[in-house]
Chains A and B, each alone.
Chain A
């Protein structure tokens, strides 16, 4: 069984939401990423989302864009991201999901991209600039390989697109909580709970929430209504600050992940 499906099945049986940290591959260094992948399960992560640095990430706010640019300035190649996962797999059993721009995926070819992901030990991918209608030709390709191509939905997603998402979704649905790009927000939208409930009534596929979650109270609030909580910019920002202050970015990230994962678990 695909690791993503197995994990959500297990969490569902225990009635708790997944905590899903995101970090950027190769920032500040490939060794950092490998170490984080190996240790993040002990800190309370259930699934990991690993960002493939891309030069022009339009879905992302300044925090993640800067981390991508830092990794690329150091000469990071896409192939090395696969190597990091392959290396970490000796001590990492968590599901790992790639987050990669379609610009990178198209260049490699979707089929090769999925095959290389699987060979390295990645279980699925979120391709934020590949909306569900453009992704339609690829869902069969993913299912044949037991690979999960994640669908996105937002509060403003129209009904006919929502139907497409429900038809094709597997692995999990990535529900974008807020308008705009990734990045921290002070407040989560008031209609989030209703929107999540409405979506969850229509699908068996786990619904996770990302974009804008940066504090333990926010993670706890979302965890009560969703199958997973994704936190990215808040981790990336802390790692960058640690690296700047010549502190250990891995320990910093793990410390924050522990806090957020615990908050995710506190609910219900």
Chain B
């Protein structure tokens, strides 16, 4: 079914499309054509696999989190370790694919939007390696809370362009990157970080990220001799979740849950959960679920996690929600912080606050899997970037606040 989507115009059912100024259409047409050629090209696919293997370190493990499993009542919980990728998150899978495509199109420069900074970091990394000029748009609020990634991007030679408009987060960074691209597309590729935006970004980013699910499916069959019962992944724009889900879409026995940012609760303006609490609308070039007011003005959003702090979501998720193939839930900031601590203490793994949302879903009593079930959680990124923010939120001073003070 859905594995064959989108259609030629970039629609997943009624979601998707291209709602951008005419100025951008030539850029999207060129990109669509270049991507369609590249994905049929054995040489392109081999080059990408080479870098994913030798540079990113794929395949990464599907790790049986034994202590977390025990804590959750005995179901076998596997973590897909995207956090172990070079640069520390799944974002590099897509950044490398698009950087190779940019080279193929003869572009000299890439631009990107970033929230948590993981996509910006992945883009800056690929740009450094391939000798591309790189500008990363980032809201000033995110620059503040994701400082470690800002420093890394600068060291890699990227320019981090502060965005002061609106809420100064991911949505505003997207607006600025789109504007840059409208004036620069002849020399510049917009290396978009998620499965939203106008066609062909949702399908292209999904394809580059679907390596996650292809590996996980093979690995779980090797380890368990069967398919998993449940997949869980966090959803901001939705790229790590689509990446995990895609290879399992036709495996009808596999349930899929996408976990959005419930922020401070489901009051409008206090969360970032368009699939749970939004409605279909148009934002950033695509028709999908979105958080907006009755007029269509984009709502304020909030999440403790900069990577999930976005009012829209990729159109394929809207399609999966509508067809019922995937389910979507939201967990709060507080639950994510709790899950961050649980995983850190139980497994010695610091998850990104984004990924902690997926763990938090399983920690809820009502979502606890049965003891005979097999679950895969996408650990989409590592939590180093969030360490300072979490210490701050928990009121721990660095240098104290160890295990004993906590317990």
A56→B25 CA distance, assembly (Å): 19
Given A104-B296, A131-B21, A156-B26, verify A180-B182 contact (CB < 8 Å).
yes
The 0/1 profile, CB within 8 Å of A marked 1, for residues 1-33 of chain B is 000000001000000011111110110010000
Contact in complex: A154, B23 (CB < 8 Å): yes
Q: How far is the CA of A65 from the CA of B282 in the complex (A)?
A: 18
- In-complex Cβ contact of A158 among B26, B184, B285 (8 A): B26
Would A77 and B22 count as touching, CB distance under 8 A?
A: no
Interface size class of A (residues with CB under 8 A): 35 or more
Pairwise interchain contact A56-B171, C-beta atoms closer than 8 A:
yes
Q: Which of A98-121 contact B (CB under 8 A)?
A: 101-108
A107 adjacent to B281 (CB under 8 Å): yes
How many whole Å from B9's CB to the nearest CB in chain A?
7
How many residues from B make CB contacts under 8 Å with A? 34
Closest to A65 in B: B165
Does A35 sit within 8 A of B, measured CB to CB? no
Q: What string of 1s and 0s marks CB contacts (under 8 Å) between B206-217 and chain A? A: 000000000000
- Report B266-302 residues with CB < 8 Å from chain A CB: 281-285, 287, 292, 294-298
> What residue of chain A has the Cβ atom nearest to residue B182's Cβ?
A180
Q: Which of B22, B182, B185 is close to A132, meaning CB atoms less than 8 Å apart? A: B22
**CA A256 to CA B105, docked complex, whole Å:** 44
Interface residue? B166 (CB, 8 A): yes
Task: Judge whether B29 and A158 touch: CB under 8 Å.
Answer: yes
CA distance A58 to B183 in the complex (A): 12
Task: List A contacts of B344 (CB < 8 A).
Answer: none
One of B285, B294, B298 near A55 (C-beta < 8 A): B298
Query: Which residues of A sit under 8 angstroms from B178, Cβ to Cβ?
Result: 58
Query: Which residue in B25, B186, B283, B295 is a CB contact (below 8 Å) of A77?
Result: B295
Residue of B nearest to A178 (CB): B183
Q: Which B75-112 residues have C-beta < 8 A from chain A?
A: none
CA distance A57 to B172 in the complex (A): 10
Residue A161 at the B interface, CB < 8 A? yes
Given A58-B179, A106-B281, decide whether A152 and B298 contact each other with a Cβ distance below 8 A: no
B253 at the interface (CB under 8 A from A): no
Task: Select A157's contact among B20, B25, B185, beta carbons within 8 Å.
Answer: B25
Contact A180 B297 (CB under 8 A): no
Q: Are A107 and B294 in contact (CB under 8 A)?
A: yes
The answer to whether B282 touches A103 (Cβ under 8 A) is yes
Closest-CB distance, A159 to chain B (whole angstroms): 11
Minimal Cβ-Cβ distance residue in B for A100: B296
Residue in B closest to A59 when the chains form the complex, CB atoms: B21
Using CB atoms, name the residue of chain B closest to A106: B282
Please measure, in the bound complex, the distance between the C-alpha atom of A1 and the C-alpha atom of B171, giving whole angstroms. 42
The interface bits of chain A over 126-149 (1 if a CB of B lies within 8 angstroms of the residue's CB, else 0) are: 001111111000000000000000
Q: Point out residues on A near B: beta carbons under 8 Å.
A: 54-59, 61-62, 65, 69, 72, 77-79, 101-108, 128-134, 152-154, 156-158, 161, 176, 179-181
Sample 15 A-B pairs with CB under 8 A, ordered by A number. A56-B298, A69-B165, A102-B19, A103-B19, A104-B295, A108-B296, A128-B21, A129-B20, A131-B18, A154-B22, A158-B25, A158-B29, A176-B21, A176-B22, A179-B184
User: Which of B's residues lie within 8 Å of A, judged by CB?
Assistant: 9, 17-23, 25-26, 29, 165-166, 171, 175, 178-179, 182-186, 281-285, 287, 292, 294-298
Q: Name 18 extra pairs, CB < 8 A, besides A55-B297, A108-B295, A156-B23.
A: A55-B166, A56-B283, A58-B21, A58-B285, A101-B282, A104-B296, A107-B292, A131-B19, A131-B25, A154-B22, A156-B26, A179-B23, A179-B182, A179-B183, A179-B186, A180-B23, A180-B182, A181-B179
The 10 A-B pairs with the shortest beta carbon distances in the complex, nearest first, are A180-B183, A107-B296, A152-B22, A59-B21, A104-B296, A156-B26, A78-B295, A55-B298, A55-B297, A103-B282
